Structure 1
Amino acid sequence: MSVEGKIKEGAGFVKEELNEHGKDAESKKKAQQGRDLRNEGRVEDGKAPKTTPPGSGHPEK
């Protein structure tokens, strides 16, 4: 597990969580950017990327 991957995953998580419940298009876009950053970090650490939409509330498997 790389430190950089953990940082990307953490930063993406925060950005996704802050914006996932917004109703406007800008919030949805920022939530998706957070999800993309989070997945980039997960892939670097050898984990599977999350495939559910941001804010869907699906538990991690």
Structure 2
Amino acid sequence: MSVKGEIKEATGFVKEEMNEHGKSAESKAKAQEGRDLRNEGRVEDGKAPKTTKPGTGHPEK
């Protein structure tokens, strides 16, 4: 695991969580940016990107 990948994943998680329940288009766009950043960090660390809908509680595959 790289430190850079871990930081990207953590930052993306926070950004996604802060904006995922917003109803505005801006909030949804920020949540998507967070998801993208989170997945970028996961790929850098050799993990598969998360593909399930956020907030569903599905385990990773």
- TM-score clears 0.5: yes
Structure 1 position 51, deviation (Å) = 1.1
Structure 1 position 57, deviation (Å) = 2.0
- Name stretches of at least 5 consecutive residues in structure 1 with no aligned partner: none
Partner SS state of residue 21, structure 1: coil
Seq. identity, %: 73
* Displaced runs of 4 or more, over 6 A: none
1:35 aligns with 2:41: no
TM-score (norm 1): 0.89
Number of equivalences: 60
One-letter code aligned to 1:2:
S
Structure 1 position 59, deviation (Å) = 2.5
- Name stretches of at least 5 consecutive residues in structure 2 with no aligned partner: none
